Amino acid sequence: MSEAVIAAMTPSTSQRIVSPFNPANAVTASRFLTLPPFVWAVHNGHHQLATLFILVCGLLDKLDGLVAKVFDCRSAFGEIFDAITDGICYGFALLLVAYYGWAPWIPVLCVLALGIGNTTLRFVYAGRAGRTVNYKSYAMERVVAYTGYLVGFATSGMEVTFFYWLFVPIMGITVLHDAKRMLLDAVPGGGPAR
């Protein structure tokens, strides 16, 4: 998850009105453009090109945070959009590499289930907070970066079984930890904790 996500947690930025049509969100949206060539590369068995396209997708994820900082256009919508884009791009890419037999199905399905569960928890958390807010998880930021790499491991054929199976418990522990924080602990910033 990018710095836009981190920085947008502060009340000063989340309360400022920023148009959703800003440079940072444009960079985030441009990540979807890497998916069609990625599909083409995987379908045609071009491992190196597929790795390159998913690498570009990951680099754009880092770039949007920088753009948000430079153009001062951080927003609560931006952080949610960034998280959703992460989920769609990496989720789709994981399904695709599993479909083409480049990655094992069971860990991929576990990761997707955990990802959907985590997204649901974030909506519940936003409901508890009573505003558009994304729960900031230091551990999940690292796990999301690992997810991007997972796709790269599959496209490059790098220790696929090792990396995929080890990722499941790491993500599972993180989701459990965050679930406790999002569902049970008090919401920071004075939001109503139901």
Partner 1 sequence: MNFMSDEAFRWSVTILTGGLAGTWLVYDTINLVRSRRADRRDPLVRDKRFGYVMGMLIGLVGIIGCLRFHGVM
Binding site for partner 1 (CB under 8 A): 44, 46-49, 51-52, 55, 136-139, 141-143, 145-146, 149, 152-153, 156, 158-159, 162-163, 166, 170, 173-174, 177, 181, 185, 188
Query: Minimum distance between the CB of residue 137 and partner 1, rounded to whole angstroms?
Result: 7
CB 187 within 8 A of CB 125: yes
Q: What is the DSSP letter of 71?
A: T
Show the tokens assigned to 106: 């069971």
Residues 6+ apart with CB under 8 A from 35: 57, 89, 92, 93
Query: Minimum distance between the CB of residue 16 and partner 1, rounded to whole angstroms?
Result: 22
Query: Minimum distance between the CB of residue 23 and partner 1, rounded to whole angstroms?
Result: 26
CB 157 within 8 A of CB 17: no
Q: How far apart are the C-alpha atoms of 57 and 29, rounded to whole Å?
A: 10
Tell me whether residue 19 or residue 44 sits nearer to partner 1 (CB atom).
Answer: 44
Tell me whether residue 30 or residue 156 sits nearer to partner 1 (CB atom).
Answer: 156
Tell me whether residue 81 or residue 149 sits nearer to partner 1 (CB atom).
Answer: 149
Query: Minimum distance between the CB of residue 156 and partner 1, rounded to whole angstroms?
Result: 4
CB 64 within 8 A of CB 30: no
Tell me whether residue 62 or residue 77 sits nearer to partner 1 (CB atom).
Answer: 62
Tell me whether residue 33 or residue 170 sits nearer to partner 1 (CB atom).
Answer: 170
Query: Minimum distance between the CB of residue 183 and partner 1, rounded to whole angstroms?
Result: 13
Query: Minimum distance between the CB of residue 68 and partner 1, rounded to whole angstroms?
Result: 21
CB 141 within 8 A of CB 5: yes
Closest C-alpha to 23, from 69, 79, 62: 69
Tell me whether residue 47 or residue 131 sits nearer to partner 1 (CB atom).
Answer: 47
Q: How far apart are the C-alpha atoms of 76 and 24, rounded to whole Å?
A: 12
